[in-house]
Amino acid sequence: MKFLRELLAAILGVIIATGIMIFIFIAIISASASALGEDGKPTVKNNSVLELKLEKTIKDYAPKSSDPFEQLLELDDERLGLNQILNAIENAKTDDRIKGISINTLFINGGIAQTQAIRDKLVDFKESGKFILAYADFYLQKNYYLSSVADSIFVNPVGEIDFKGLATEILYYKDFEDKYGVKMEVIKHGKYKSAVEPFITNKMSDANKEQITSFLNSIWKELITDIAKSRDKTPEELNIIADDLLARNPELAIENKMIDGELFLDEYESKLKVASGIDVDDELNKITIGDYIATGKGRIKSSASDKIAVVYAQGEIRYGKGDENYIGQEALIKALRKVRKDNKIKAVVLRVNSPGGSALVSDIIWRELALTKKEKPLVVSMSNYAASGGYYISCGATKIVAEPTTITGSIGVFGMIPNVHQLAGKMGINAEQVGTNKQSVGYSAFEPLTDSFHNTVKESIEDIYKTFVNRVAEGRGLTFAQVDSIAQGRVWTGVEAVQNGLVDQLGNLEDAVEVAAELAEVSDYRITNYPRYKKDFKDAFKPFAFMKASKENLIKEELGSENYTLYKNIKEFSELKGIQARMPYVLEIK
């Protein structure tokens, strides 16, 4: 009886605790809704300034979460959808309540291609005649690149401007492996397939240095060309400023016409008031891009019956369901089959932002896209990355459109397996295997890699590489030899990829949609987005499921954005399974 009483008491306690939590969540939401307005949405006041803050994670596609706990805790508000940002800026052009845009962000938590897309949309916004002003306590290069589009740029009087050219850093682990007896067994195809280079050498190869130098120069040329147009300078002048750090402080930056003045924030806000046509003593009405999107301005309204489907493939490619953070074959196959069955959808745009991943999943998705292409025009739009597996799923499209700063190509494959044989020996650990057949035991991390296992994996990698190259050759109308000469795991920018035939033209997502519409011969259409991610309600209520939703957020807060990115990359690399067609590392260009 005592046991039953304790059990019932425990159950009752859980029920009461759950009820209290739900009550608190409802109270929080009610309070938030009352603070925002009757419908719980932010409102746009007259004479408002749209404030462009981009410190939240920018994803090409950030659909509203179906996880009730994420919604209750507002965890899905920690990211912005690029498509929504661009639509919001487009809507602001004709919104009489919006007088102009203020770029006021310390960091841009997105890639260079995404930043370029936003900047291009701001160039278009200026055609409305409305103002764009920019301010920051300090400027990093990506932030300055975006802000350079403004009519005037201002910085805090004690701030700094980082303008010195692009660079990246790669860590090498070979000496560490030798010292501690933990190594990665590597099997690859492609002299440029530098994904595994840090594990087999302690310095950068000439081939890797060649490709990195090439795409950094290509990206830098794009950035300074855009900046030069906006600041009425030449690329040559900007290179001199970068070489000699002639914008390192406000005085030098003003002297060299990189910024227009040094102001404190209150002085900058006074300029915003004047530009908005209100008195300097009046209250400045600002609305952030996130809140503006929440009012419904993150989409373009249309009554057209014909549709163009934009199918988003973002993140690493892994075997599984897939969600907004990684590409799984299940979600994409489901989306593509829905798209094919919908007679109102006249064409498909696959928006790719991926460094690649599983070669198997890449080929599964490639097949589904091939079936889609047979029924409807298929255009690929490339974002920050469409490399290796990301290019694999792109290569069969009717047309491929890339941003100038997209990193693509990387046509190559590798296998990488951890081995702790030396470490185990130092610790006095010995592993013994028993099996029924010659090959039944397979690979053991506690034993040296055998020639037999190495040859078997090498054969698989060679077969997959040949398949990859053949897929590209078929899709791009090239010979195997032509593709092989620009493959070998080498990465290219969008500009370089147009020159070598891997990409058809340069442009953004909007341009890709226009290409798709032309191929489908439709002029009046609206955009519909896929996949539609849904979470089973029961999954959300599994033990501690709601804690998982906030775990990543807490880690990011503790580590900081840069350290969190490093943590995430290492974690993802440690979870790789099967033969990979992927980028070596998500390069942090700074």
* Helix intervals (H) in 376-508: 389-392, 421-426, 451-476, 480-486, 494-500
* Half-sphere exposure at residue 281, Cβ-oriented, CA atoms within 13 angstroms: 0
**Amino acid at the residue 163:** F
Distances (CA, A) of 141 to 108, 256, 268, 571: 10, 16, 21, 28
**Is residue 193 annotated as part of the catalytic site, yes or no?**
yes
Q: Which residue shows structure tokens 């120069």?
A: 217
Q: What angle do CA 69, 71, 76 make, to 5 degrees?
A: 110
Active-site annotation holder among 148, 383, 388, 410: 388
Distances (CA, A) of 375 to 363, 379, 430, 463: 19, 13, 58, 29
| 402 phi/psi in degrees, rounded to 5 | -125, 150
* Half-sphere exposure at residue 271, Cβ-oriented, CA atoms within 13 angstroms: 20
Count the residues in the chain. Answer: 590
How far apart CA 136 and CA 143 sit, in angstroms, is 9
How far apart CA 538 and CA 549 sit, in angstroms, is 15
- 333's enclosing H/E stretch is helix 329-341
Active-site annotation holder among 59, 142, 193, 399: 193
Q: Which residue shows structure tokens 């899709």?
A: 475
Spatial contact of 318 and 358, defined as CB atoms under 8 Å apart:
yes
Task: Enter the DSSP assignment of 536.
Answer: -
Which residues does residue 261 pair with via DSSP β-bridges, in sequence order? Answer: 154
Q: What angle do CA 264, 268, 274 make, to 5 degrees?
A: 150
**Is residue 548 annotated as part of the catalytic site, yes or no?**
no
Q: What angle do CA 556, 561, 565 make, to 5 degrees?
A: 85
Spatial contact of 290 and 56, defined as CB atoms under 8 Å apart:
yes
Q: Which residues contact 125 (CB under 8 A, 6 or more apart)?
A: 89, 90, 92, 93, 101, 132
Nearest CA-CA partner of 400 in 378, 370, 376: 378
Spatial contact of 418 and 445, defined as CB atoms under 8 Å apart:
yes
Catalogue the active-site residues: 193, 388
